[in-house]
Structure 1
Amino acid sequence: MNIAKNMEAIFLTATAIALASVTTFATASTAVKRIDPPAVTQAAADTTMTVVTITGKRLTAAEKAALGD
């Protein structure tokens, strides 16, 4: 195997391995930040339900067709 022909691939592979090693060591030394879970609170028991009534006329087929154009 001729090493001169494959020097670019060897260089890129060595660079990738070196970068991965440095990154692994750099991130391994940082402390993991722990986040406390949010406190769960119970909503007040509201027994009344809000009712919304909508009044209005329905569109006819001709009015719906006019809106679609």
Structure 2
Amino acid sequence: MNIAKHMETIFLASVVIVGATSMASAAVARIGHAAPEPKVYAVAVEGAPMAVVTVSAKRLSAAEKAAL
């Protein structure tokens, strides 16, 4: 089978397959499960001090950055 002669047929078949799978996956997403509600792990308490993060590391020099 000469593939060059049948490139149009191969292209059309691949377009049909891609279209069918995209429609099928869109239908599954529409009737599938809804996204779960986000969970809140941090609770703000009135009057509580603000959380502060201190990073105690030295900055890289230009030579060290270049070595990475």
TM-score for both structures, normalised by structure 1? 0.46
Query: If you compute each CA radius of gyration, which structure gives the higher value, 1 or 2?
Result: 1
TM-score for both structures, normalised by structure 2? 0.46
